[in-house]
Structure 1
């Protein structure tokens, strides 16, 4: 790999070291990150490159830049796989306030002046969720017809109707929000992450990797951070969540429309869908066992999770009634 890096980029690293899920090396106080990009279309990578250039122009020194090959291309083939090479600056080790950091990132991303098509997800949640739900429901029906063959399948067959209802509630909540409420300036699309969690910036030592980005409503990142923290900390998560939201809102206050989208995303049982999907996609017994443990944990805690969703607006001190935000009665 080191030899091929030299042939492609004229760069000779002494060794490669892991950073999160990436391979990296250092040259003259710059960190280089080798990112596999086989899952992306060329048009997606072009938009990621433009977003990266823009964020660097806006003064975000934590953003990694795309490095061209000796031939001027931004995708290289190394060991028969497609990669992009990104370059960033060493960041000082310090505690970060993720709410403020994310709000500033969104503020900059909102100013991006060009049209986004390939990475655009804003306004598409309902269609994407419906498609995902239909696929899993058809799969569930096939498992019911063939009868469960192991403990995971029994749990999946028994639990799916409940999470089907949760997903339908989330979809309806988005529909109602779009009918009942008007988006404000704060609801403009911005650069977001595919999945923003407390690990996103710590795994890469605060380096921001553009291949992890999409273009969406800012509540996406906020909801995914909250989801992750809740399932990590359970009922002890309320203090962390409140601090995160308060720090974010000091820079980027959410509209009523934004709060409703955030809540819709929390309602959608992404944790359940991903666990089931990854179990069946996994070829490893050890991974399947881990996903079964994870599913059992979710099912053991479903009542606490339901209470968390039912009391969410009250817990964060949001005057939902005054803002005209509908609550989900059955969760209360």
Structure 2
């Protein structure tokens, strides 16, 4: 890897350290991180332009370093990599870090349609499990329950009267074990409603075995949300991204089937959390009826 960094970036580190996420090295007190790019190469130009826009707005994200051919992606052994200058943070992110991160987007930003995106995802996963389910009995046995949760979330989102809610720079995924490196990684940044990040963070913490009630209570009591945002938040908590993400890792052989048991074992307790939020909403909002939450 040292030869590739020398050749493609004209950088000559003395030592290169490999981590689970990639390779880092330090030159003149500047920390560089070379990671494999796992997204669609067609998206990289848009990501690069958004990261330049954020930097120009004095919104810190890790700067992307172009290679000697002035390209964003560098192919090393036929695998795409991207180099960034990073600031190293050892501590895991907390709720306040996420809330501090949010910045409004420009007026031309387009709101994502969660109902449509989730419907497409559910349809794709149902087709996929019909082809691959025999190889993964634990997934096959639990799949219909989580598809059902997904359908509840879709119905809730589609029932809402859409209002004008500010969009922010948010994240594709925020997980309980993420560090501030992940928070400011431009590859992880997207445009969405702020409730996306909070819901994903709380779900990840819950299924990592951590208590979320303190953060959940703080967020609901101290954040000004519109009615639309309250229900987007609930829908995002219901939609089982945690299960579908793990499902994809299992069928691509990055994780073993047994991992799914950790999620399935917490299903009843998680339902209780969702019911608590639903009942709390009923004290001050006109809540669409969801039978299994009554």
The question of 1:241 aligning with 2:206 is answered: no
Residue of structure 2 aligned with 1:273, choices 238, 244, 247: 244
Distance in 2 (alpha carbons) for counterparts of 1:67 and 1:278: 29
Q: Which residue of 2 aligns with 1:81?
A: 79
Q: Which residue of 1 aligns with 2:232?
A: 261
Distance in 1 (alpha carbons) for counterparts of 2:119 and 2:183: 34
> Normalising by the residue count of structure 2, what TM-score does the alignment of the two structures yield?
0.86
Q: Which residue of 2 aligns with 1:330?
A: 292
> Normalising by the residue count of structure 1, what TM-score does the alignment of the two structures yield?
0.77
State the Cα deviation string for residues 70-123 of structure 1 (Å, max 9, x = none).
2322222223322221113456x6x6873333233222xx2346x56xxx7x43
Residue of structure 2 aligned with 1:296, choices 241, 251, 261: 261
Secondary structure at the counterpart of residue 32 of structure 2: strand
Secondary structure at the counterpart of residue 199 of structure 1: coil
Task: Output the aligned Cα RMSD.
Answer: 2.8
1:93-108 alignment runs, 5 A limit: 98-107=94-103
1:190-269 alignment runs, 5 A limit: 190-202=168-180, 204=181, 208-233=184-209, 236-243=211-218, 249=223, 253-269=224-240
Contact 2:93 2:178 (8 Å CA) reproduced? no
Q: Which residue of 2 aligns with 1:134?
A: 123
Contact 2:24 2:33 (8 Å CA) reproduced? yes
The question of 1:172 aligning with 2:161 is answered: no
Deviation at 1:245, TM superposition (A): 5.4
Q: 1:56 to 1:320 in 2, by over 3 A?
A: farther
> Number of matched residues?
294
Secondary structure at the counterpart of residue 55 of structure 2: helix
Contact 2:156 2:235 (8 Å CA) reproduced? yes
Q: 1:68 to 1:274 in 2, by over 3 A?
A: closer
Q: Gaps (5+ residues) in structure 1?
A: none
Q: 1:37 to 1:161 in 2, by over 3 A?
A: closer
Contact 2:174 2:200 (8 Å CA) reproduced? yes
Q: 1:35 to 1:140 in 2, by over 3 A?
A: closer
Moved more, 70-79 or 221-230: 70-79
Q: Gaps (5+ residues) in structure 2?
A: none
1:144-155 alignment runs, 5 A limit: 152-153=136-137, 155=138
Q: 1:297 to 1:79 in 2, by over 3 A?
A: closer
